[in-house]
Structure 1
């Protein structure tokens, strides 16, 4: 089993909050980790249609007939549970009552903010970091990790990366995007995801993305927000002394997992990656995403920016979380 750094932070926050929320991309290891850390808890997975139906039809009964220490996996499927959890956790007044896990941040976080504000610890578990991979497999090189990425199933089974990511992308598009985000033009969305990969490490240009994907700029903005909310991509804001300007200047786009990025760019091996025209951009993405994981795995919100001035002076990564500065060339 791959040891996850976040385990200690989960145990700590379960001592402080009545509810703990663990979100992250599909197959990042959330279920495995929460069941390992909280092995004495009862477990309910709302991917199970019968359990989901029970939770939706009788949320009060679902919560009150179950043990006081409960993991609810894919909790976003039954948001009606959250107000009940609020009432019950307040009645009991104990820490560590409920562990909520979910892969759809856009649904789960909104409901948590509405019902459980101030009562919930928030953690984000991304795919395995290079630090964690080296602990699991000391022979893992940066190049091989950048190519394969950090999804636990890939690292532990030796499955071909192309097979894993083809299935992963199909599941994401056909379930999350089509079913829960109500995107109708799935072919255009797939094209958009690949266009975003070509833009990794660059400033977001909504007009260009929209034109190349044959959609309008408003749709491009909405779709990129979807990719961010479902932990496929994230953006880095530019740094200015005047904080207000950060909201008006273009951010840079990155992928949380470089293995998925390599797949979208058509890179089929670590050797091809090293000689690829995209190697520099993928290295930059690797450094930025690994820095983000280092902080999130320890329960710290990253304060990451990039710097670029009108004289073209550029620093790819400014890390104000713990006062480090890094530059990827």
Structure 2
């Protein structure tokens, strides 16, 4: 297995804190990373019924066995365990003794925040970023191949067909994991809901439209979307807000973390199929957003991304605001560099100049050549990871 970008942050956190909590979607590589970095720790997978029953029935005796440190995988399966860990950590605060992993964000973080506040560092491991994917001997070379393959490590580590693996992943997620997060009575309807969400990646989130298309109520649609967020499948990108005397949209945008999963849910099984698909641009936009989120999290920083859109239709797909500047990013799937690609983002620059901050204008596009133009910078898709967006 390759070295993950988060490895340095995880080692450092374990040297400073008694516990480290690593969250992320299933199959993002959490267990592999932890077992690689902490080979002397014991390992317990709480998905195993016998281990889980022991931890639930006699948590003190269960934890007392791990004097030398332990990796507790899928800790959300035993939500009371962090409360018992709190006592042990207060008695013996040696750093790096407890490594916790979990794949259900909301349940796990609520348990950790209540019981292990100030005792556990919290890190997030998403599927592979592009600069991690290219560390494998065989990796997708073109943009369309990259989008269809996605970033789940096992696909590249074992040379699997993305469509076959992702099909099994979705089936396992819908049939098993959803039941452990919430009481979804109709799994067929829920799967249809997930597919409808895939068709809305990179678009404004309209709950009434989504609920109507899925044949469920708006509260159900919001609850099910929360399930997808808790599972690290989707996230909501907030709109940019500033005192600009402009009427800005208030709805968030919906994005999937993994482009390969979106492609599979939309029935896209090959790069050739994607190349002619009407949602190719939206899938590419979600991929770029996900890359920026991954690189922020791998540095141990929150991803402070937003998008700009006002009632006049002026928009930027991504806005990154720092104390001293604002970076605006438009995503274009076209492979040929052209000044016209910068026309839309240049309009956003004019609107944001009222903030008084310097504005950087960039377009990430599907081509291969970095170009500096008078209106801004054209950045090839392969170089997204190489730029310091912070």
Q: Aligned equivalents of 1:36 and 1:51: distance in 2?
A: 22
**Secondary structure at 1:184's aligned position in 2?**
coil
Determine if contact 2:136/2:157 at 8 Å carries over to the other structure.
no
Q: Which stretch shifts more, 170-179 or 196-205?
A: 170-179
Deviation of 1:183 (Å): 0.6
Q: Which stretch shifts more, 153-162 or 109-118?
A: 153-162
Say yes or no: does 1:268 pair with 2:269: yes
**Secondary structure at 1:136's aligned position in 2?**
coil
Say yes or no: does 1:325 pair with 2:324: no
Give the corresponding residue for 1:76: 76
Say yes or no: does 1:226 pair with 2:227: yes
Deviation of 1:178 (Å): 2.2
Q: Aligned equivalents of 1:283 and 1:80: distance in 2?
A: 41
Deviation of 1:321 (Å): 6.0
**Secondary structure at 1:22's aligned position in 2?**
strand
Count of residues in correspondence between the two structures: 328
Q: Which stretch shifts more, 316-325 or 54-63?
A: 316-325
**Secondary structure at 2:43's aligned position in 1?**
strand
Deviation of 1:185 (Å): 1.0
Deviation of 1:138 (Å): 7.2
Give the corresponding residue for 1:19: 19
Alpha-carbon spacing, 1:274–1:104, altered in 2? closer, same or farther (3 Å): same
Q: Aligned equivalents of 1:246 and 1:301: distance in 2?
A: 27
Q: Which stretch shifts more, 132-141 or 93-102?
A: 132-141
Give the corresponding residue for 2:348: none
The higher-RCO structure (CA 8 Å, 6+ apart) is 1
Determine if contact 1:16/1:96 at 8 Å carries over to the other structure.
yes
Please list the CA deviations of residues 15-41 of structure 1 after superposition, one character each: whole Å capped at 9, or x if unmatched: 111110001001011000000011111
Q: Which stretch shifts more, 54-63 or 264-273?
A: 264-273
Give the corresponding residue for 1:6: 6
Structure 2 matches for 1:286-325, cutoff 5 A?
A: 286-320=287-321, 324-325=327-328
Q: Aligned equivalents of 2:317 and 2:249: distance in 1?
A: 19
Please list the CA deviations of residues 131-179 of structure 1 after superposition, one character each: whole Å capped at 9, or x if unmatched: 1011224753232121110111111222222211111111111111124
Alpha-carbon spacing, 1:246–1:304, altered in 2? closer, same or farther (3 Å): farther
Q: Calculate the TM-score normalised by the size of structure 2.
A: 0.81
Give the corresponding residue for 2:126: 126
Deviation of 1:120 (Å): 1.0
Q: Which stretch shifts more, 61-70 or 256-265?
A: 61-70
**Secondary structure at 2:123's aligned position in 1?**
strand
**Unpaired runs of 5+ in structure 2?**
333-390
Q: Structure 1 or 2: larger helix share?
A: 1
Deviation of 1:114 (Å): 0.9
Q: Aligned equivalents of 1:195 and 1:110: distance in 2?
A: 29
**Secondary structure at 2:96's aligned position in 1?**
coil
The structure that has the greater radius of gyration is 2
Structure 2 matches for 1:1-329, cutoff 5 A?
A: 1-137=1-137, 140-141=140-141, 142-241=143-242, 249-320=250-321, 324-329=327-332
Please list the CA deviations of residues 85-141 of structure 1 after superposition, one character each: whole Å capped at 9, or x if unmatched: 111111112211200001111221110011011111111101111110112247532
Deviation of 1:68 (Å): 3.7
Determine if contact 1:25/1:231 at 8 Å carries over to the other structure.
yes
Q: Calculate the TM-score normalised by the size of structure 1.
A: 0.95
Alpha-carbon spacing, 1:178–1:295, altered in 2? closer, same or farther (3 Å): same
